Amino acid sequence: MLGNFTYCNPTKLYFGRDALNGLNEELPKYGKNVLLVYGGGSIKKNGIYDKVVAILKANGKEIFEDGGVMPNPTSDKLEEGVRRAEAANADLILAVGGGSVCDYAKAVSVSVNCGGDPWEKYFIRFEEPTCKIIPVGCVLTMVGTGSEMNGGSVITNHAQKLKIGHVFGENVFPKFSVMNPEFTFTLPKYQMIAGIYDIMSHILEQYFSGTDDNTSDYIMEGLLRSLIHSANIAVKDPTDYEARSNIMWTATWALNTLVAKGKTTDWMVHMLGQAVAAHTDATHGMTLAAVSLPYYRFIMDSGLDKFARYAVNVWHVDPKGKTAKQTAQEGLAEMEKWMISIGLVMNITELGATEEMLDGIVKSTLVMDGGYKILNAVDIRAVLLASY
Amino acid sequence: MLGNFTYCNPTKLYFGRDALNGLNEELPKYGKNVLLVYGGGSIKKNGIYDKVVAILKANGKEIFEDGGVMPNPTSDKLEEGVRRAEAANADLILAVGGGSVCDYAKAVSVSVNCGGDPWEKYFIRFEEPTCKIIPVGCVLTMVGTGSEMNGGSVITNHAQKLKIGHVFGENVFPKFSVMNPEFTFTLPKYQMIAGIYDIMSHILEQYFSGTDDNTSDYIMEGLLRSLIHSANIAVKDPTDYEARSNIMWTATWALNTLVAKGKTTDWMVHMLGQAVAAHTDATHGMTLAAVSLPYYRFIMDSGLDKFARYAVNVWHVDPKGKTAKQTAQEGLAEMEKWMISIGLVMNITELGATEEMLDGIVKSTLVMDGGYKILNAVDIRAVLLASY
């Protein structure tokens, strides 16, 4: 833990089969008008919508609806949400859905009273909100982004072919989140697996950076081992409560600021994946999966000790009689085998990326400087080509 | 993560070489009167007292002093602190010291406006505070208890020969804590090592319980590996900033409620250690070290799978060709070798426990029921005898 840092995460979490009862403790803290935000309507089919509405009504709330949040929430939808929240005079935004819905709720929460174009303000100029922020609560129905306990918000602008995340401060974190692992049972397997890899990628983005000895690296190795263990169970039986609950909890701690404290981080896999998504609208976790190994193999020599440590501590590679490079390569090979075994998409062609898109994806890829190697446009093209 | 639980930890942490500057952000949030709580005066020798006082004065605070908090804060001292806080009409209690000082500050904070006998109310009857709680901030100068980010408070009653901890809720957590690893450099080596084992024991008390698959167990294995690694460096060079900072951060996450979520816990080592301390006034971490292996060897057969997992994942025991029992035993043997190597006290005789005290210590030992085996008085006597 070499750097100076502050840590504060005030979000209250209600976890478990009875987590939704937490709404009865939280709702009385806020005013009457609740903007209920959700996605494509699956919560109406699986009964979660009815349960939430019943609790809102029992607590005397007036409900205003904002459905139809897409998996990659757009800047156009964000503008619509701001108008709806204004019309509702919302005292609380309650997001019921996955990370996209929660991300979107946060973006609305900082835009209602702020004026200006929120896309330009927060996702191009990365300003901090200076206006009154509407409180946000989340009821999670999908796992992966960690949005339930952080300030992250990712918005896509189709006209500009950009998908950009802003990590807001504590004042934008959800005030509370409801986390019932059973709510994730009905999620299609493709989405579950994409979420699992999203979690893994969040950890690896923070792990593969720096050469210092950091407690966070040990915590991340623990989180990765837990995730792999539980994922292997969940892909066979998505209704295994214990596995799904461990995955849900791992997702939260993978990206609620803890494991980044006192260390540098990378996030280049997300930049590559988000550029692919901006052109293909593919599922977030799958875009990360498809670009990860090409990227890690490209940078491995520049962070060899950490990749060798990863192989031993996460993938149980026996380093005896091997060079660091051999150990590291074996670790990535084990990772690849595992990724294929759980059903992840391993190249961007399968996600709809065409040769004609390549120039555009390269152009849309923001470059980060915290990893083991800073990529230029030629490097980015090489990594992406390895994923075709 | 099988159980229902809530998680909320609102404490703001300022970590690193410049952490004390955090006081300039926090102090303006509170009123003029600050009760400055500290221990035996070492902070006056190492310059921390002067730095804190200068910042308090620069922020226009009126300082009221309450020094002389002992390593095992007593119920008598607590009564004195309550009187001092009342006389000061304290708006903030600023604890500068280790866990004892921070524990004590929390006990004062819930007792000033509550009336009654705080020892009886909180440590015998385990009531929750219903009165106005004075905000507490901590400036850590010693590492181990995690008191900087939790609601724990341990008080000793000499007349009753009892040392009892109360784990208060979020409303009693410190509002902020300042964590500068350099502040721990001047601590005597004996205290540093005792603190390291206190951390290890906190993790093990939460690890050795339950048979479910829990993400927390993986996180704890990571914390243990980080702790062992950094402790080995720190005992050779107590001024190694990286090692001391990792130990400091591990201590916080070992006992700020996170790793206990969704699982059962034991805490029997603390009950045994606290009983020893109530009779000998020995250093907390050393009492835990002296009783740990006798206790773990006594209960090992009842939690064999977990002890075998511990051996493999923390002590790198190769389980090939061994029974679970052999693996588990080898793990505890490795732990013993390591404990001796860093200079921990391995029996309670060295801590001042005499044969005449044995009956009293057995009597003072509270029995917990979350571990792998529930001890009766005969068991407790056997465990303690193995530590003579």
A10 in B contact zone (CB under 8 Å): yes
Smallest Cα distance from B81 to chain A, Å: 29
E strand intervals along chain A: 5-15, 33-38, 62-66, 92-97, 136-140, 152-157, 162-167, 176-179
Which residues of chain B are within 8 Å of residue A184 when distances are taken between CB atoms?
Answer: none
Cα nearest neighbour of A2 on chain B: B242
A232 in B contact zone (CB under 8 Å): no
Q: How remote is the C-alpha of B352 from its chain's centroid?
A: 21
Judged by CB atoms closer than 8 Å, whether chains meet at A229 and B213 is answered as yes
E strand intervals along chain B: 5-15, 33-38, 62-66, 92-97, 136-140, 152-157, 162-167, 176-179
Residue B14 forms beta bridges with which residues? A6, B178
Among A1, A21, A256, A318, most B C-beta atoms within 10 A, so best to mutate, is A1
Mean pLDDT of the residues in chain B: 96
Residue (of A147, A153, A155, A194) closest to A72 by Cα position = A155
* pLDDT > 90 in chain B, percent: 95
Going B336 to B341 to B347 to B348, the CA torsion angle's sign is negative
Which residues of chain B are within 8 Å of residue A8 when distances are taken between CB atoms?
Answer: 10-13
Instruction: Answer whether residue B136 shows pLDDT above 90.
Output: yes
Max Cα distance, chain A (Å): 68
Strand B152-157 relative to strand B162-167, pairing: antiparallel
Instruction: Answer whether residue B115 shows pLDDT above 90.
Output: no
CA distance B19 to B15: 5
Residue B7 forms beta bridges with which residues? A13
Instruction: Answer whether residue B97 shows pLDDT above 90.
Output: yes
Residue (of B137, B131, B102, B106) closest to B28 by Cα position = B137
CA distance A293 to A296: 5
Contact (Cβ atoms closer than 8 angstroms) between residue B11 and residue B148: yes
pLDDT in tens, B239-261: 999 999 999 999 999 999 999 99
Which residues of chain A are within 8 Å of residue B214 when distances are taken between CB atoms?
Answer: 246
A318 in B contact zone (CB under 8 Å): no
pLDDT at A2: 85
Residue B357 sits at the vertex; the CA angle it makes with B353 and B360, to the nearest 5 degrees, is: 130
Residue B34 forms beta bridges with which residues? B63, B92
pLDDT at B358: 96
Please name the residue that has the structure tokens 């503008």. Answer: A79
User: pLDDT band for position B386 (50/70/90)?
Assistant: very high
Cβ neighbours of residue A140 closer than 8 Å, sequence gap 6 or more: A97, A98, A102, A148, A177, A178, A179, A180, A183, A184, A248
For residue B324, give the 3-state DSSP assignment: helix
pLDDT at A131: 92
Contact (Cβ atoms closer than 8 angstroms) between residue A11 and residue B8: yes
Number of inter-chain CB pairs under 8 A, A vs B: 138
Element (H, E) at A79: helix A75-88
pLDDT in tens, B212-232: 999 999 999 999 999 999 999
Smallest Cα distance from B11 to chain A, Å: 6
User: pLDDT band for position B167 (50/70/90)?
Assistant: very high
A19 in B contact zone (CB under 8 Å): yes
User: Which amino acid makes up residue A66?
Assistant: D
Instruction: Answer whether residue B6 shows pLDDT above 90.
Output: yes
Judged by CB atoms closer than 8 Å, whether chains meet at A10 and B14 is answered as no
Residue A172 sits at the vertex; the CA angle it makes with A100 and A59, to the nearest 5 degrees, is: 80
pLDDT in tens, B19-62: 999 999 999 999 999 999 999 989 999 999 999 999 999 999 99
ipTM of the complex: 0.95
Instruction: Answer whether residue B118 shows pLDDT above 90.
Output: yes
pLDDT in tens, B100-113: 999 999 999 999 99
Judged by CB atoms closer than 8 Å, whether chains meet at B219 and A219 is answered as yes
Max Cα distance, chain B (Å): 68
pLDDT in tens, B266-302: 999 999 999 999 999 899 999 999 999 999 999 999 9
Burial of A212 (0-12, 13-18, 19+ CB in 10 A): middle
CA distance A195 to A181: 13
pLDDT at A368: 96
pLDDT at B301: 98
CA distance B70 to B60: 29
The low-confidence residues of chain A, meaning pLDDT below 50, are none
From the list B222, B248, B261, which residue is nearest A219 (CB)? B222
B173 in A contact zone (CB under 8 Å): no
Instruction: Answer whether residue B92 shows pLDDT above 90.
Output: yes
Smallest Cα distance from A248 to chain B, Å: 9
Burial of B41 (0-12, 13-18, 19+ CB in 10 A): exposed
A175 in B contact zone (CB under 8 Å): no
A173 in B contact zone (CB under 8 Å): no
Contact (Cβ atoms closer than 8 angstroms) between residue B269 and residue B291: yes
B257 in A contact zone (CB under 8 Å): no
Output the six-digit token pair for A202: 């969040």
C-alpha distance from residue A184 to each of A245, A247, A380, B165 (Å): 9, 11, 35, 39
Burial of A316 (0-12, 13-18, 19+ CB in 10 A): exposed
A226 in B contact zone (CB under 8 Å): yes
pLDDT at B1: 87
SS3 content of chain B, % helix, strand, coil (to 5): 55, 15, 30
pLDDT at A267: 97
